[in-house]
C-alpha cells in the first residue's frame, strides 16, 4: 500500500512539473516575440534549455548523493519557481537565454529524481506498467500546460505566476512522504561509439529528430505569432499537434514491431518532410488549414524518435540497451540545441515560414538514410526484437527515463524453430542476439542503478549466497 501511495505521489509531482514546463516553454516563445526579441535570440532561448538539460543530467546525481532525493528535488523545484518568476521581472533577451538554461537544468534534475524513485519502487512485473503510465501522464500534463496559455494569455504576470505555482507544488507529494528514500543514483554509461556500431541509422535519426523537434518546439510558436494568431489559437494549435502525435505513436509503434522498422521510419519521415514543404508553399495565415498542417506534422514527426530507439535496441546485444538508448539521448540533445539556432538564421534570411525548410530538410535526410540502410543491412526478424514503447517526442526524456524503461532488462526472443525441444539453443541460433558484449570505456553520465526484484537472479558471475 505504501509503495502504491508513493507511486501516485510521484506521478502527481511529475504531472505538475510537466504542466509548468509545457506552459513555460510555449509562453516564453510567444511572449518573447511580443517583446520584440530577435529570431536569433528566440532560437538561443531554446538552445539554452537544451544546454541546461544536459548539464543537469550530468551534475544533479552528484547533488542527490550529497543531500538525498527529497532535498535535491526541493532544490530543483525552487530553482524552477525562481526562474519563471525572474522571467517576469527580467524581460530581456540575454536574461531569458540564461534563465532558460537554469530551467533546463532544474527540469532535468527533477525528472531524474522522480524517475530514479519510480525505478526503486518498481519491480520487474510492474515496471512496464509504471513506465507506460508515467509516459502518458507526462505527455498529457505537458499538453494541458500548453492549453493553459489559452486561459492565462501571455500579457501581465498571471501566466508566470501559474507556472511558478505548478513548479512549487510539484515538490509537495515527495516532501510529504514518510517512506524511506531510494539509494543514491549510481553511474551509468551513455556510449555514442557503441550506438554507432550498433546502428548508424539510430545516430542519424536521433540527430534529425532533435534538429526538427527542437526547431518546431521553439520557433513554431513564433511563426504563429508572425502569422497574427492570438495566444489562445497558438495554444490550441500546439495542443492539437501534441495530441495527434501522441495518439500516432502506438499504432505506428505496433506496426514497426511487425515489419521492418526502417520502412516505418522512411514513411513517417518522408511524410513529415512533405508536410513541411506544403507548409512552406501554402504559408497558411489562419483557419483550419494551419491546424491540419500542424496536426499532420505531429502525426508524422512525433513517433519517429521512439521507433528509432526501438530499432537501435533490435540490434543491441543483451545488456546494452541502457548504453545505446543513452547514446541516442545525447545525440538528441545536441540536435535540440543546434536546431533552433540554424532555423532562426533561415527565418531571418527567408521568412518566418522558413523554419519548415529546416524540418523538411532533416526529415528528408532521415528518410533517404533509412531507405539506403535497408539496402545495406538485413532486417531483424520480428521474433528477435524487443517490443516498441511510446516515449516523449521532444523534451521529456532524461537518463532516468532510460533507466526506468523496462526494455533495459528485456531480452530479444530467439526464433522458436531454432532451438530443439528441452535443450539449449545451439550457438548459431543465438548469434547476434544473446552474445554478451564486453563493456568499453564510454561517456559517463549518472543515473539510478536498478535493483532486482525479490527472487530475481542477478546477472553476475558471482555465486548467489544461500
Percent of all residues in the chain with a pLDDT value above 90, rounded to a whole number: 41
**pLDDT tens-digit map of 99-153:** 999 999 988 888 888 877 777 777 767 777 888 888 888 889 999 999 999 999 8
What does the angle CA 371 – CA 414 – CA 430 come to, to the nearest 5 degrees?
Answer: 90
**Mean per-residue pLDDT, 286-307:** 92
Q: Is the pLDDT of residue 175 over 90?
A: no
Asked whether the CA dihedral 281, 283, 286, 288 is positive or negative, the reply is positive
Q: pLDDT band for position 57 (50/70/90)? A: confident
- Helix (H) / strand (E) element for 123: namely none
**pLDDT tens-digit map of 333-369:** 889 999 999 999 999 999 999 999 999 999 999 999 9
β-pair partners for 443: 190
Q: How far apart are CA 179 and CA 294, in angstroms?
A: 44
Please count the helices (runs of H) and the strands (runs of E) in the chain: 16, 2
CB 210 within 8 Å of CB 54: no
Phi/psi at 92 (nearest 5 deg)?
Answer: -150, 145
Q: What is the mean pLDDT of the chain?
A: 80
Q: Which tops the pLDDT comparison, 424 or 159?
A: 159
Residue 204: half-sphere exposure toward Cβ, Cα within 13 Å: 20
Q: How far apart are CA 148 and CA 26, in angstroms?
A: 10
Q: How far apart are CA 155 and CA 31, in angstroms?
A: 8
β-pair partners for 447: 186
Q: pLDDT band for position 394 (50/70/90)? A: low
Q: How far apart are CA 106 and CA 21, in angstroms?
A: 11
CB 226 within 8 Å of CB 359: no
Q: How far apart are CA 347 and CA 446, in angstroms?
A: 37
Q: Which three cell numbers stand for residue 12?
A: 502527481
Percent of all residues in the chain with a pLDDT value above 70, rounded to a whole number: 77
CB 222 within 8 Å of CB 276: no
Q: Which pLDDT value is given to residue 393?
A: 63
Q: Is the pLDDT of residue 276 over 80?
A: yes
Q: Which pLDDT value is given to residue 445?
A: 39
Q: Is the pLDDT of residue 159 over 70?
A: yes
Q: Is the pLDDT of residue 465 over 60?
A: no
Task: Tell how far CA 95 is from the center of its chain.
Answer: 26
Q: pLDDT band for position 446 (50/70/90)? A: very low
Q: How far apart are CA 346 and CA 359, in angstroms?
A: 11
CB 331 within 8 Å of CB 247: no
Among left, alpha and beta (phi > 0; psi -120 to 50; other), residue 413 is beta
pTM for the model: 0.80
CB 29 within 8 Å of CB 347: no
**pLDDT tens-digit map of 395-443:** 656 666 666 666 766 655 544 444 444 444 444 443 333 334 444 434 3
**Mean per-residue pLDDT, 242-267:** 90
Q: Which pLDDT value is given to residue 398?
A: 66
Please report, in angstroms and rounded to a whole number, the separation of the first and last CA atoms in the chain: 29
Least confident of 217-231, 310-324, 407-421: 407-421
Q: pLDDT band for position 179 (50/70/90)? A: low
Q: Which pLDDT value is given to residue 62?
A: 82
DSSP structure string for 131-199: HHHHHHHHHHHHHHHHHHHHHH-SSSSHHHHHHHHHHHHTTHHHHT--SPPPPPPEEEEE-HHHHHHH-
What is Dmax (Cα atoms) for the chain?
72
Q: Which pLDDT value is given to residue 460?
A: 42
Q: How far apart are CA 91 and CA 349, in angstroms?
A: 26
CB 84 within 8 Å of CB 164: yes
Q: Is the pLDDT of residue 5 over 70?
A: no
Neighbours of 336 (CB within 10 A): 29
* SS3 state at 400: helix
CB 303 within 8 Å of CB 244: no
Q: Is the pLDDT of residue 273 over 80?
A: yes
Q: Which three cell numbers stand for residue 283?
A: 504559408
Q: Is the pLDDT of residue 4 over 70?
A: no
Q: Which pLDDT value is given to residue 430?
A: 39
Q: Which three cell numbers stand for residue 47?
A: 538552445
Amino acid at each position: 500500500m505504501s509503495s502504491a501511495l508513493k507511486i501516485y505521489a510521484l506521478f502527481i509531482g511529475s504531472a505538475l512539473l510537466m504542466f509548468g514546463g509545457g506552459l513555460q516553454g510555449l509562453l516564453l516563445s510567444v511572449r518573447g516575440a511580443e517583446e520584440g526579441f530577435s529570431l536569433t535570440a528566440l532560437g538561443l532561448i531554446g538552445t539554452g534549455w537544451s544546454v541546461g538539460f544536459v548539464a543537469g543530467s550530468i551534475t544533479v546525481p552528484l547533488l542527490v548523493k550529497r543531500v538525498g532525493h527529497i532535498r535535491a528535488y526541493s532544490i530543483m523545484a525552487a530553482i524552477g519557481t525562481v526562474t519563471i518568476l525572474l522571467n517576469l521581472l527580467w524581460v530581456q533577451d540575454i536574461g531569458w537565454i540564461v534563465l532558460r538554461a537554469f530551467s533546463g537544468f532544474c527540469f532535468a534534475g527533477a525528472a531524474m529524481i522522480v524517475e530514479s524513485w519510480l525505478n526503486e519502487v518498481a519491480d520487474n512485473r510492474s515496471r512496464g506498467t509504471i513506465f507506460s503510465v508515467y509516459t502518458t501522464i507526462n505527455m498529457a500534463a505537458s499538453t494541458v500546460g500548453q492549453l493553459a496559455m489559452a486561459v492565462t494569455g501571455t500579457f501581465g504576470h498571471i501566466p508566470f505566476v501559474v507556472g511558478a505555482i505548478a513548479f512549487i507544488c510539484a515538490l509537495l507529494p515527495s516532501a510529504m512522504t514518510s517512506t524511506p528514500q531510494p539509494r543514491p543514483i549510481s553511474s551509468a554509461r551513455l556510449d555514442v561509439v557503441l550506438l554507432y556500431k550498433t546502428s548508424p541509422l539510430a545516430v542519424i535519426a536521433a540527430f534529425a529528430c532533435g534538429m526538427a523537434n527542437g526547431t518546431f518546439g521553439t520557433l513554431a510558436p513564433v511563426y504563429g505569432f508572425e502569422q497574427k494568431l492570438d495566444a489562445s489559437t497558438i495554444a490550441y494549435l500546439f495542443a492539437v499537434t501534441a495530441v495527434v502525435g501522441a495518439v500516432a505513436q502506438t499504432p505506428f509503434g505496433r506496426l514497426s514491431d511487425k515489419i521492418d522498422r526502417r520502412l516505418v521510419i522512411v514513411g513517417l519521415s518522408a511524410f513529415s518532410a512533405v508536410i513541411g514543404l506544403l507548409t512552406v508553399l501554402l504559408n497558411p495565415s489562419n483557419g483550419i488549414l494551419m491546424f491540419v498542417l500542424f496536426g499532420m506534422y505531429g502525426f508524422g514527426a512525433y513517433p519517429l524518435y521512439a521507433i528509432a530507439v526501438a530499432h537501435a535496441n533490435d540490434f543491441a546485444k543483451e545488456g546494452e540497451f541502457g548504453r545505446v538508448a543513452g547514446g541516442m539521448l545525447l545525440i538528441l540533445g545536441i540536435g535540440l540545441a543546434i536546431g533552433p539556432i540554424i532555423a532562426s538564421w533561415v527565418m531571418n534570411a527567408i521568412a518566418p515560414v522558413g523554419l519548415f525548410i529546416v524540418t523538411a530538410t532533416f526529415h528528408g535526410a532521415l528518410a533517404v538514410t533509412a531507405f539506403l540502410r535497408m539496402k545495406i543491412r538485413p532486417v531483424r526478424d520480428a521474433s528477435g526484437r524487443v517490443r516498441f514503447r511510446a516515449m516523449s517526442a521532444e523534451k521529456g526524456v532524461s537518463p532516468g527515463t532510460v533507466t526506468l524503461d523496462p526494455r533495459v532488462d528485456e531480452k530479444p526472443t530467439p526464433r522458436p524453430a531454432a532451438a530443439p525441444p528441452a535443450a539449449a539453443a545451439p550457438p548459431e541460433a543465438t548469434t547476434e542476439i544473446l552474445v554478451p558484449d564486453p563493456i568499453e570505456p564510454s561517456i559517463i553520465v549518472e543515473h539510478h542503478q536498478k535493483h532486482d526484484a525479490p527472487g530475481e537472479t542477478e546477472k553476475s558471475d558471482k555465486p548467489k549466497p544461500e
